[in-house]
A and B are shown apart, each in its own frame.
Chain A
Amino acid sequence: MTYTFDFGAVLDRAPELLWGSLATLGLALAGMLLALVIGILGVVARTSKSEIARTPVIVFVEVVRNTPFLVQIFFIYFALPLMGIRLNPTVTAIIALGINGGAYAIEIIRGGVESVSRGQIEAGFALGLHKADVFRLIVLKPALRAIYPSLTSQFIMLTLTTSVCTSIAAYELTSAAQRIESDTFRSFEVYFTVTAIYLVISTLMMGLFALISRHYFNYPTR
């Protein structure tokens, strides 16, 4: 092997990597928020009594979860202009991330809502708690605690998925990497470095989520 590694050429472009990382975080955060909104609205419709409200949500979840994100983002990217909506790639990417993450969020949140047992709620009322307190202490907090691990790992997955948004030329870390690669021809070094940056980002996010969990959900259940 005669290849000499040259990470210097990549590190010279550190500012671009930093901006790319921030763009990735921004994209992920916006995608997560949209996914949460879609998730909550979806659960409301999914658990309603009307079949007209439930069926579209079931179809949406099944279709999104059984097709690749890349195909979804292409579809949305080409479909929006046909509906007369012209958006820049970043906004399109956020919509795609929100729709993809939302489908998973619906299933996760629904599981949490259904995990709260009726007996607990009745016990709360029997103890003379107010309706608001029953909702906050007996329904919401335990449900959030139950879904917290799967929801946060889904969010980290969404953050890693943002890399695919380079395919519609949205600005983020992977697209920054591709630009640096085409300038320096140091393909391996660029992608190795950027992969390490993603690892740092997801590790930090995991730590942050664990910290939040320790703060809010640290109480015994038995």
Chain B
Amino acid sequence: MGPIGENEIFFLMQGLKWTLLLAIVGFIGGGMFGILIALLRTSKTKAARRITAGYIGAFQGTPLLMQLFVVYYGVALLGIEVNAWIAVAIAFTLHASAFLGEIWRGSIEAVPKGQTEAANALGLHYVSRMKDVILPQALKISMPATIGFLVQLIKGTSLAAIVGFIELTRAGQIISNQTYRPLLVFGIVGAIYFIVCWPLSHAGSGLEKRMAKAAR
């Protein structure tokens, strides 16, 4: 058994850095595609609604691990020279866009219909109606669920370890193999995830309670 010293902790922190970067890239990329998915999902065009419903269903009905594998090997097939980092980032972006798209669809539909009618009555066109009237209200409604999904995404990045990407969990595996102290190492790794995720979960549920009170 080896000790867990400065070097090991530093290695874990390097892993944490990649975990956070991966989650941030997935969240921002997924957010940009997600808003598009949500808008298409709530649009008047039936085909757009159907296609985005299928897209969301496919991602919500399959394991994240499989999505990682399919994108990882699928991107390689395109003949583009990509490293694991880009493939994994694409996978998380697609995954997040489907989930955020569904969350935001719900929020757009939760905005009272009178708001859309009022915007129409004022003669606002689609872009202005969405940008100035509907989306700001939908964003507020969606906050608890969006934060909740961010926590899911941070935890989900641990699966990148299985395709060989060195983030926090993989760093833990490597140190565990070197030091033969799996319990201590995975205890520390779990604690780091908890320190990152718990304040977010707390903020999300706090917001939800405040909004539920305000709605009463």
Contact = CB atoms under 8 A, between A and B. Distances in A.
B interface: dominant SS: helix
Contacts, number: 115
A188 B70 contact: yes
Nearest to B191: A67
A86 interface: no
A195 B66 contact: yes
A174 B162 CA distance: 12
B69 A66 contact: no
B79 to A, nearest CB: 6
Contacts of A188: 70, 73-74, 76-77
A82 B186 CA distance: 14
A187 interface: yes
A148 interface: no
Contact of B158 (A2, A70, A75): A70
B42 interface: no
Given A69-B155, A71-B172, A1 B201 contact: no
B153 to A, nearest CB: 11
B66 A198 contact: yes
Interface string B172-189: 110010000011001101
Contacts of A163: 63, 65-66
Contacts of A145: none
A160 interface: yes
B63 A160 contact: yes
Contacts of B158: 68-71
A129 interface: no
Contacts of B193: 66-68, 71
A79 B186 CA distance: 10
B151 A66 contact: yes
Interface in A156-196: 156, 160-164, 166-167, 174, 187-188, 191-192, 194-195
Contacts of B198: 62, 66
A164 B161 CA distance: 11
B155 A68 contact: yes
B186 A75 contact: yes
A202 interface: yes
A216 interface: no
Contacts of A156: 61
A91 B13 CA distance: 33
Contacts of B70: 188, 191-192, 195
Contacts of B186: 71, 74-75, 78
A72 interface: yes
Nearest to A73: B186
B61 A198 contact: yes
Given A75-B187, A192-B70, A202 B61 contact: yes
A29 B65 CA distance: 20
B169 A67 contact: no
Nearest to A70: B158
B58 interface: yes
A65 B187 CA distance: 15
B156 A68 contact: yes
Contacts of B169: 68, 70-71, 74
Give the top 7 A-B pairs by smallest Cβ distance, nearest first. Answer: A68-B158, A78-B182, A163-B63, A66-B197, A191-B69, A68-B155, A188-B73
17 contacts: A1-B77, A3-B79, A66-B155, A68-B159, A70-B159, A71-B189, A71-B190, A74-B173, A75-B187, A78-B182, A78-B186, A82-B183, A162-B63, A164-B162, A166-B162, A195-B70, A202-B61
Given A82-B183, A163-B63, A174-B66, 4 more contacts: A67-B193, A75-B190, A160-B63, A160-B64
Interface of A: 1-3, 62-63, 65-72, 74-75, 78-79, 82, 156, 160-164, 166-167, 174, 187-188, 191-192, 194-195, 198-199, 202-203, 206
